[in-house]
Structure 1
Amino acid sequence: MLLIGDSLKIEFKLPIDDNADRIIPKQRRLTSSQDKDAVGVVWLMSFPNSGTSYTIDAVRELTITTTATNYGLEGAMKDQESTPAFPDMEEAKNGPFLHVTPGREINIPKLLLTKTHCGGYCSSCMAPQMFIETPRSFMSGCLRGQRRVIDEESKVTSEFVSYSSDLVKKVVHIFRNPFDNVVARFHLDRKLQAQDHPDWLDTYPNNREGFRKWCEQLNDSAAPVLSSIRWVDQSLMDAMKDVPCMSEFYRYIQWHNLAFSVTSDLQIPCMLLHYEDYSTRFEDVTNELTDFLGLEQVGKAPEFINDKTYLDYYTEQDKRNIARFIREYATKPTWQNVQHYLSDFVSEPAPMEA
């Protein structure tokens, strides 16, 4: 049975420091019904570009509660310090941090949905260590983030922080169709390049041809690195060699393999959520999600728009090659959750043991 607890509210007041322009949160100590053992984090664990933003928005609007993130540099209030999610706890400055919206009351539930990409992955980062993850390093990435700091000279700086796994009480683990997820990563790369490298956008236009060209340059960079990594054996390399964007699909599967491993080690409840569920069973999945969080639905979720898939960005041979590689590299729990995306392109599953 899920416990539904009172919410911890933090109100905002105007600054009392004549030299400060930023809004300062009024901090309230937890009451006896909101003791430190009763509050905690629900990780929203997601490989980048797999539905994190919509899930955060849906929970926030459905339940009229505040959500959080490991990444305190996010948000609209760029000139203010990151707001700790649990200000009365020791090491509050280590995160996570609230998603603060100007003019909106902060209402912190006992189980606070918190965004983490568990380190995330830079698509263009090709150093060997970017492909070598262990459960321990992955866990560290899940707990790590950044906070925005205002120094004594009123300059905005940032610092890396990390909180304790004891704060994590539950996990929501999101899956997205790997074909679509990797194309979404291409779209993110274009967005990141747009401001400083406009010529890059001409080289990699926002269409099938641009995506395939992007994949080619990633493969040229990744192939020698992956082949030099000791735990990428010959059978895995053979399965990978004809996969477009091999580094992205490798990272996608490794990420989900390790997400299952870490959740198992933590021995906490986990909800599996597939991105397409928002299209096919919206009411059911949002009810399941808010029930899992122990929250009541009192608002209305934003419209979910998912009118584009990207299978046409891949040739039929690409699809078979990708399916073969994923079957080879996925652990059993991962395979069970991605197999339906690949069923038209692969015959018999042969996943690794978890």
Structure 2
Amino acid sequence: MSSDGIASINVLNEASGTVIYGNRGGDGVIVITTKKGLIKHAERIETLNKKINEVVQFKDWTPEANYLKQLSTTNSIEEAYELYLEIRKNYYNTPTFFIDVADFFEAKKEREIAIKILSNLAEIELDNHEVLRALAYKLESFEAYDVALNVYKEVMRLRPEEPQSTRDLALAYENVGNYQKAFDLLFTIINGDLVEKDLNGRFHGIEQLAFIEAGHIYQRYKDKLKLTSTQEGLIKPITTDLRVVADWNHNNTDLDLYIENPKGETISYKQKSTRYGDRLSEDMTEGYGPEEYLIKETLKGAYNIKLNYYSDTVQKISGPTVVKVTIFKNYGKENEIKHIIIYRLDKEEEEIEIGGISFI
């Protein structure tokens, strides 16, 4: 057929093709509409185009999703998973379906199934970087670092102009043991290579966090790094008793980290430091964070961690803002402990108690 006779071409990936054509569409589908077909079969083509549009366009997240109610009525893990397999074809265009269902199985102590479900979402060709960030956060919390790395690579492809993409990918490489790649990426933030990509200053202060994270890698894995003389002179080993970092997936979100130390003092954007050595990073009111709290030598007693969530500029198709809180005890030391907590924030001016960490 001559190209002159073609009116349009639609390429459906495996997931979308399966939804419309069943198993026949499992390898993807190319839909070619001819100009003659538009005349002879206008009604059928219009129906098909509507169906394609419904599949390709994401559906909005709903907090009380029917699929969660359905899963809750099952009598066993096996029955719940079978139901998931049955109904997922109806939700391929709802990315948060996979995250919600993964949470359902995680709550049932079925982490392996939860990771498998999140991996299903990772296989779908998404071009929404905010959904992908939320997915990567969940995978990290499940310690599925290899899969999370691939997701962060995709975020980097979609949003290379944002320094946060570079930082996320660097830390993902650190998680899988590629310390040189992690260090090199962080250094592109430290030395200003990405400044021209942040002309509006939305990520002002991220280079300070990258400096600390590069110093952490230098401290723990120096023997596995090859550094230039400039890097050797600039990067210093970092250790600190307590470090807390908050990242989130939605652009233009105002979220604040609060820490109450054992002396009853609250460290926040209103008071960023104390005489005891507590320190809070720049207040990020745009972009995706991060915000960081650290103290080199902790006091005896409990440090209580809170988040205050003020607003999203726009509610996204990816659902509520997802925040990742990473807590390090003995950061950079041989006895370092790392813990990741994931929250979904759907109420403005919501105060969330993350928890406390004690030092004796």
What is the TM-score normalised by the length of structure 2?
0.26
Structure with max Cα Rg? 2
Q: Which has the higher strand share?
A: 2
Name which structure has the greater RCO, CA cutoff 8 Å, separation 6+: 1
User: What TM-score results when the alignment is normalised by the length of structure 1?
Assistant: 0.26
